[in-house]
Amino acid sequence: MASLRLGQVDFINCLPVYTAINQEIITLEAEIVPGPPAQLNRMFLQGELDVTPISSIEYARHADQCLVLPDLSIGADGEVMSLLLFSRIPVTELDHKVIALPNTSATTIALLKILLEHYYHISCDFVTMEPDLTAMLSRAEAALLIGDIAMIEQLKVNSGYYEGIIVTDVGAVWKEMTGESMVYAVWVVKKDFAGEHPQEIARLASALQASLRWGREHEDQLIALAQDRSPWFTEDYLRRYFHTITHSLTEKDIRAMNAFFDYAYKTGILEERVKIEIWREKDGR
């Protein structure tokens, strides 16, 4: 077959998983395609990627077509540091106000809507925009940001660069509401592709795990790569971040996914309940 096409979320939360592959420390014959979550979701669903990290909510919408690779996700148990709501007023006062949403996100938008309804008990209007905090707050009372830009903007708020901005970590609020961790993305493969190419998927899954192990053992190198992306990223901040995000997919994580999907169903974000299916090497699925 032609080189396998593998998506990579172009945020620093994927550095632990991909750095050893990108630096050819771990061998993997694949074309790496970087992009923000919403773009990778779209490319995968259109058949332009064979395997990719996909937003959890998009996996849920297409679970009948996909298998989840084992032991790998992007998540956090509470505070996540990179999925943040910036507001001029407390969240409890946003009822009937406008929130700007980034066009790069899927899971975090769904999570925010769940929290607004079931935790804050408020109703908001939404506008989707490019992830630019100043532009977003010129049109809305609050703005959701994800990934590196969210982290940079919070560091700016902390430094006094902005005045009068309240920052809310949506992962921390989810933990407070449910007591559960949160899985924001999982690696997926289409069922038919996995059935046709079981050896390739097995090699890929093994390479991703080997690369993640390398990343966990070489945190200083991940920090240096992340610092190249922005002068706002200090070593201490990045070290805390790499100890905050998780890349496991344990029974606890799957329980958390099910809790999120149940809330998404109750909120009307999902049309039906979801059964999570994990790819297994022994049976090719």
CA dist., res. 138 & res. 118, Å (int): 27
CA dist., res. 261 & res. 61, Å (int): 10
Task: Please say which residue of 138, 156, 178 terminates a domain.
Answer: 178
Closest by CA to 55, choosing from 96, 93, 120, 11, is 11
pLDDT at 11 over 70: yes
191 and 69 within one domain? yes
50 and 27 within one domain? yes
CATH code: domain of residue 247: 3.40.190.10
205 and 143 within one domain? no
Model confidence at 3, in pLDDT bands (50, 70, 90)? confident
CA dist., res. 119 & res. 172, Å (int): 12
pTM: 0.95
Task: Please say which residue of 178, 201, 217 terminates a domain.
Answer: 178
Question: Model confidence over 192-215: pLDDT tens digits?
Answer: 999 999 999 999 999 999 999 999
CA dist., res. 243 & res. 30, Å (int): 28
Task: Please say which residue of 178, 194, 226 terminates a domain.
Answer: 178
Residue 2 has what pLDDT?
Answer: 62
Q: At what angle do helices 251-267 and 170-178 cross, to 10 degrees?
A: 90
Please list, residue by residue across 15-32, b when 16 or more beta carbons sit within 10 angstroms of its beta carbon and e when fewer do.
Answer: bbbbbbbbeeebebebee
267 and 229 within one domain? yes
Domain that holds residue 89: 83-178
Whether the CB-CB separation of 64 and 4 falls below 8 Å is answered with no
